[in-house]
Structure 1
Amino acid sequence: MTTGPIIDIHAHVFPDAIAQKAAGSIGKFYGMTAKHCGTVRQLADEYGKAGICSGCIHSVAVTPQYIPAINRFIAETVRNDPGKFTGYAAIHPGAEDIPGLIDEVRSMGLKGFKIHPDMQQFALDSPEAMNMFSRIEGQMPVMIHTGDRRFEYSNPKRMKRVLDTFPHLICICAHLGGWSEWEDAWKTLAGYENVYVDTSSSLYAFTPEKGRDMIRHYSRERVLFGTDYPMWTPGEELDHFRKLELTDDETEKILYRNAAELLQLT
């Protein structure tokens, strides 16, 4: 198996002063315990241990008022170590000036947006969200937390309506397209040319054989490696991925090439 460069497409980081509390809140939301505290320094250390060369970092604005502070923090983190980090900006369908926000985050050097409908409490196909997507389409990619059987906000059927309406909206559907709704996700979302999925918070749920089958159903060109730090340890997530025993070409694309092209790092 190849051992080339590795990009983590899915990592959350927080300012040191609130990192422990923020990571704890995420864990509580899912009824789990986050394995790490969510600081930038700790993430960089974990990347060093795992041999991960770069990560796409982001955070979620639960309400619109948090957007400016989050985006300043993410942009500053990227500026401090541009070789290590790429940033996605926070956005919310309740933001007042989405076209202005797009221009602002682009000027800050951020490469896309991150949303979490379950935490932000909006349906993916609500009028407000569809308006937001109409503004983002053709401008920047958007990473979307998809799937959670406890809620109705982000299920694969809602995601499909977004994709059918906005064929030029580049979407990263996190957690293999639908956390805890993986079967529905691959039946619903595979085959869309504007969709990527990432492996974050998913591979633990499958046997290597099942995980390999799901990834191949989406195709090697549409899958990205993600760790979901601080919920999980990057090195352990990489171990889960290695156990899939994919081909060298599949491995190189998923661990590096697909993300490098999407993030415009090549």
Structure 2
Amino acid sequence: MRIDIHTHAFHNKIADKAVHHLVDHYGITPVGTGKADDLIERLDRAGLDKAVVLAAATSPSQVIPANNWAIELKKTAPRFIPFGTLHPGYDRNGEELERLAANGIRGLKFHPDFQGFRMDDPAFYDLMELVDERFICMFHVGDDLPPDLNPSCPKKMAALRKTFPKPVMIAAHMGGLKQWEYAIEHLAGLDVYVDCSSVMDFVNDDLLERLVEAFTPDRILFGSDYPLYDAGKEIQRISQRLNMSEERLDAFLSRAGKLFG
């Protein structure tokens, strides 16, 4: 099963607003509308079977609406694997985990930069105490700020992995967006998966090869970061830059499937 491990699709009522927010933050013009039907069309063109759809509650009050959307997608969109979300400021995270599990949600997305907390915040550690091996955890890591000032960074991600060994953890953007030297230093060799979303525009061939060597191919998952990028074009870019054979490319695109049994 070929999977795009890192996408975002929004309810039609908020898709335009959500996409504009991405533009404001990243300064990248999205290729997609952020709507489910557009994502499915791109999966078809890319030869992908499914996409993990991610959302992160930007405030405690958004936890329930965001998870309602994930549960709706789980029931109505078989091409999607929706992840839920929690927030350290929400006071019923334990109950919400049970609701997500009861509705077949297999993963959680955390984006400290958007959600307004630091990855090393004690309140976030309290939240992570509630998470067990039922859930795959995807973390946004890195950004333009220096690592010590950034809400998320490879060093904080490494500390989190060491403290909480149970869940499968994925450090997005090859372990740290625009912080790849720190990702190699702090995350290589740990029990952490990474994805290649939002990476190709920012790394040269030498750094890309060093990242692959540091994390090893069996720990690198394909992610497009739709609606910022198109899956088919991202597959073409990374496969060409790493000179992948058809067999190696199929293994790369299918690797995330093993996480979901």
State the TM-score, normalizing by the size of structure 2: 0.93
1:92 lines up with 2:87 in the alignment: yes
Counterpart pick for 1:115 among 107, 110, 125: 110
Contact 1:133 1:169 in 2 (8 A): no
Contact 2:143 2:150 in 1 (8 A): yes
Question: Gaps spanning 5+ residues in structure 2: where?
Answer: none
Give the aligned partner of residue 73 of structure 2.
77
**2:130 partner amino acid:** R
What displacement does 1:210 show? 3.3
Structure 2 counterparts to residues 111-190 of structure 1, below 5 A: 111-150=106-145, 151-190=149-188
Deviations 1:112-159 (A, max 9, x none): 100100011111111011111111133312100001132521011111
Q: Secondary structure of 2:69's match?
A: helix
Give the aligned partner of residue 16 of structure 2.
20
Distance 2:247 2:41 in 1: 28
What displacement does 1:253 show? 3.3
Give the aligned partner of residue 43 of structure 2.
47
Distance 2:248 2:128 in 1: 30
Contact 1:204 1:240 in 2 (8 A): no
Give the aligned partner of residue 37 of structure 1.
33
1:57 lines up with 2:60 in the alignment: no
Contact 2:32 2:227 in 1 (8 A): yes
Counterpart pick for 2:98 among 103, 109, 117: 103
Q: Secondary structure of 2:152's match?
A: coil
Distance 1:13 1:167 in 2: 30
Give the aligned partner of residue 68 of structure 1.
64
What displacement does 1:101 show? 1.2
**2:11 partner amino acid:** P
Give percent identity, aligned residues only: 30
**1:9 partner amino acid:** I
Distance 1:248 1:190 in 2: 26
Distance 1:168 1:109 in 2: 19
Contact 1:148 1:178 in 2 (8 A): yes
Question: Gaps spanning 5+ residues in structure 1: where?
Answer: none
What displacement does 1:28 show? 0.6
Q: Which range moves more in the overlay, 146-155 or 6-15? A: 146-155
What displacement does 1:250 show? 4.4
The alignment of Structure 1 onto Structure 2 pairs a total of residues equal to 257
What displacement does 1:213 show? 3.1
Q: Secondary structure of 1:92's match?
A: coil
**2:223 partner amino acid:** G
Distance 1:235 1:152 in 2: 31
Q: Secondary structure of 1:143's match?
A: strand
Calculate the aligned-residue CA RMSD, in Å.
Answer: 1.6
What displacement does 1:249 show? 5.7
Distance 1:163 1:53 in 2: 29
Distance 1:6 1:141 in 2: 18
Query: Residue 45 and residue 36 in structure 1: after superposition, are their counterparts in 2 closer, same or farther (change >3 A)?
Result: same
Deviations 1:90-114 (A, max 9, x none): 2111121222111110111111100
Deviations 1:215-244 (A, max 9, x none): 232012211100000011121111112112
Contact 2:117 2:151 in 1 (8 A): yes
Give the aligned partner of residue 221 of structure 2.
224
Q: Secondary structure of 1:86's match?
A: strand
